[in-house]
Amino acid sequence: MTPRRASAPSTPGDALAGLTRAAHAGAVTRRTALARGGFATAVAVAGLAGFGLIFAVVRARRSEAIDLALMLRLQRRRRPWLDRLMAVASWPGFPPQSRVIPPAAIGGLWILRFRTEAAFLAAAWGTGALSTILKEMMDRPRPLAGTDLRVVVAPLGGSSFPSGHVITFVGTYGFSAYLADTLIRDPLIRRVTSGALVGLVLLVGPSRIYEGHHWPTDVTASYLLGTTYLVVVVAGYRRVKAGEAGRAGRLLDAALTAAPTPLARS
């Protein structure tokens, strides 16, 4: 009886290589990813003009009455389950988790060798820096708790305009949803992942008003500016991926041209 040869023990490098292969096997081709993303880019570009208009209105202090009326109306709908939902939606935007989740996602993509995706997700996270610059420019006071106005205690800082939560979520989690929707091969996993991320982006705005941390115009303008920023990031990503696909095609053509034909080998 022939003795069975013992298999070599697997190493962390082998495990990482297997995980990387599985991740890439679950992703669609570059051509398919590019085709899926065109509609989102066209829709997102519509946010630019709206932000400029709201910025001008807020700077002229012509939005205060409607801001207060809308905020009080939304806060009247208080329910225990709604309190929990709004708190969950806002949670990823507060430190320390706001400084851990995006870098962890970027690092995970990099380790799995989605290097282009990691680089552009880092660029999408740049909405946080944009928010900081605009807050310095506007220096708008935040809502103050009063008889009817509720402000949930939280680690807040800086100007009310724009909403750092909203603009960062649109950039970071919006681009993550774009990646999930364009790269994941399995339809169920793609829909669940991208749907959860989009749901988080859509909920964070109402949560900021419901918890009394931002005025409605802060949130609306942040959605619009974040969308515009996302357009730029997605457009850059699509351009780079198209270049990668073109280079891969040229390399394949060159390899096929250089390979000997069966007739030449005989």
Supply the pTM of this predicted model.
Answer: 0.78
In a domain, 14, yes or no: no
DSSP string, 102-164: HHHHHHHHHHTT-HHHHHHHHHHTTHHHHHHHHHHHH-PPPP---SS---------S-SSS-H
In a domain, 172, yes or no: yes
Angstrom distance (rounded) from CA 74 to CA 56: 24
Q: What residues pair up with 27 in beta bridges, in sequence order?
A: 184
Question: What are residue 184's phi and psi, to 5 degrees?
Answer: -75, 130
Angstrom distance (rounded) from CA 63 to CA 191: 38
In a domain, 221, yes or no: yes
Run of H or E including 229: helix 216-258
pLDDT at 244 over 90: no
- Give the pLDDT confidence score for residue 31 in this predicted structure: 66
**Residue 235: CB atoms within 10 Å:** 14
In a domain, 106, yes or no: yes
Could you list the residue range(s) of the whole structural domain that residue 103 is in? 29-248
In a domain, 11, yes or no: no
Question: What are residue 27's phi and psi, to 5 degrees?
Answer: -105, 150
Question: Mean per-residue pLDDT for 195-208?
Answer: 96
In a domain, 255, yes or no: no
Structure tokens at 14: 């082998």
In a domain, 13, yes or no: no
Q: What average pLDDT does the chain have?
A: 84
Query: 172-176, 186-190, 260-264: which has the minimum mean pLDDT?
Result: 260-264
Question: Mean per-residue pLDDT for 192-217?
Answer: 96
Total number of domains constituting the chain? 1
